[in-house]
Amino acid sequence: MKNILEVKSLQKVYSPNTGIFDINFSVKAGHFHSFIGENGAGKTTTIKSIIGAYNSYSGEILIDGKNSKNPETKNIIGYVPEYAKFPKELTTFTYLQFLAMLNGVSKSVAKEKITALLEKFNISDLKNKKPVNFSSGQKKKILLIQALIHDPQLIILDEPTANLDPTARFELFTILNQLKSQGKTIFISSHVLSEIDKYTDSFTLIHKGQIVYNGKKYKPLEKVFYEKVLSNK
């Protein structure tokens, strides 16, 4: 099985004790891969480097074998941020259509895909309403649709269950499991280990800006975290 993501000697330092320090890890295509660690461990910095939000770093990031700074890799990744920021004046459809076109999707194809995804996620009734007024669960679905419009192979989610109620969490993981069954790679950052454990094929554990483990899941994530992080404190 090929690697869809490879991070090599990635380093971005904010201060002597803050940042990510020469980290290396890989993610197999088709896996549900969990990226775990405490708050402040370096998860978001790593993700923002992968998606191209940060460019001032040393090291190399390969997306499906191509350098992440190659514009072609943008179509391989779909990104779901932790927090939603929607323009107050735009409806769901207008917002999604605009973003689809930014990703190179034609207007006609975008219309077809948006309609299909809204229906798939059971939120067709929100098409002409404004996302800024939606519940956290509804906003997360819009962000996920936004990430899927251009049919990416690697879907990256940063703390996707933040502020979601139990029903919205269940719906989110049901959708992610369906995407994985379609051959998509799910790369999810979370510190709620019990929630992601049963879905996880492989994982990367980061602690204080350094990789502690990268590979297949061999025991429950909470046990690994305790053994490799908490027991050494």
What is the torsional sign of CA 106, 92, 95, 122?
negative
In a domain? residue 26: yes
Per-residue confidence (pLDDT) for residue 84, from 0 to 100: 83
Per-residue confidence (pLDDT) for residue 233, from 0 to 100: 60
Q: At CA 108, angle to CA 106 and CA 111, rounded to 5?
A: 105
State how many domains the chain has: 1
Spatial separation of the C-alpha atoms in residues 5 and 158, rounded to whole Å: 16
Spatial separation of the C-alpha atoms in residues 61 and 47, rounded to whole Å: 11
In a domain? residue 149: no
CATH code for position 72: 3.40.50.300
In a domain? residue 144: no
In a domain? residue 9: yes
- Confidence check: pLDDT of 116 > 90: yes
Phi-psi region of 30 (alpha: psi -120 to 50; beta: other; left: phi over 0): left
In a domain? residue 217: yes
Spatial separation of the C-alpha atoms in residues 202 and 216, rounded to whole Å: 4
In a domain? residue 120: no
In a domain? residue 18: yes
Task: Write down the mean pLDDT value for the chain.
Answer: 93
Domain that holds residue 233: 1-76+189-233
In a domain? residue 137: no
How do residues 11-35 score in pLDDT, each as one tens digit? 999 888 889 999 999 999 999 999 9
Q: How far from chain centre, in Å, is Cα 218?
A: 22
